[in-house]
Structure 1
Amino acid sequence: MPQQIGGISHFDKAELHAILQDPANDIVVIDVREPFEYEAAHIPGVPLIPMGEIPYRLDELDPEQEYVLVCRSGSRSYEVARYLQAQGFTRVHNFLGGMLGWDLEVMTELEDDVSH
């Protein structure tokens, strides 16, 4: 069960892994780090939209969709979740601890972002 921190629900590693492993799950996970961080190691299948691009790419996101946001430590993704919430997105979550706490499978090359 996600924990609430600062008005945002936070998923832990086990919860995020379960979401990613369930093909019936329609929650979209987005990495909000910088491209160099993403390329160094990211969760397979998770698209990249750098934090600074989010305000300019809101039209690519659906306010009715459920999202989990990921960054290095959970700080930037928390800020993006708060920003999206302020824009009317009601189903946004943060990945608690970020990639620093992810010790499962990672990829090291760029993948298509959420807009493709």
Structure 2
Amino acid sequence: MNATQFKQALTHVNLLDIRTPREWDDFNLGGFHVSLDTLLERIDEISKEKNWVIICYNGTQSLIAMRLLKAKGFTHIDHLEGGLEAYLSL
């Protein structure tokens, strides 16, 4: 999902922010926060029934997280291409 699509969908999706706790504390859009390094440990906290958009700073880690979750059976999942950097530059 690109930044423009993300902006339009922001109120209709669940955010999964996989940045570090420090990045989260500096700025966040809300949603569920779990850092990428603990994602698989906390996977049971993420509902497979909800529509998720994974966000990170530049889109690289969110792409990795999306692939991991898809491999674990998540189907309603996307990521923000270009990350928050792209969204904030709109």
TM-score, length of structure 2 as denominator length: 0.88
Task: Identify the residue that residue 4 of structure 2 maps to in structure 1.
Answer: 14
Counterparts in 2 of 1:39-50, with a 5 A limit?
39-43=25-29, 45-50=30-35
Task: Identify the residue that residue 68 of structure 2 maps to in structure 1.
Answer: 83
Is the Cα contact below 8 Å between 2:54 and 2:65 reproduced in 1? yes
Counterparts in 2 of 1:1-116, with a 5 A limit?
11-21=1-11, 25=12, 27-43=13-29, 45-103=30-88
How big is the alpha-carbon RMSD for the aligned residues of Structure 1 and Structure 2? Answer: 1.5
SS at match of 1:102: helix
Consecutive unaligned residues of structure 2, counting only runs of 5 or more, are none
Higher percent of residues as helix: 2
What is the identity percentage for the equivalent residue pairs of Structure 1 and Structure 2? Answer: 25
Q: How far apart, CA to CA, are the structure 1 residues paired with 2:2 and 2:33?
A: 20
Q: Which residue identity lines up with residue 6 of structure 2 in the other structure?
A: L
TM-score, length of structure 1 as denominator length: 0.70
Question: How much has 1:64 moved relative to structure 2?
Answer: 2.3
Q: How far apart, CA to CA, are the structure 2 residues paired with 1:61 and 1:103?
A: 26
Consecutive unaligned residues of structure 1, counting only runs of 5 or more, are 1-10, 105-116
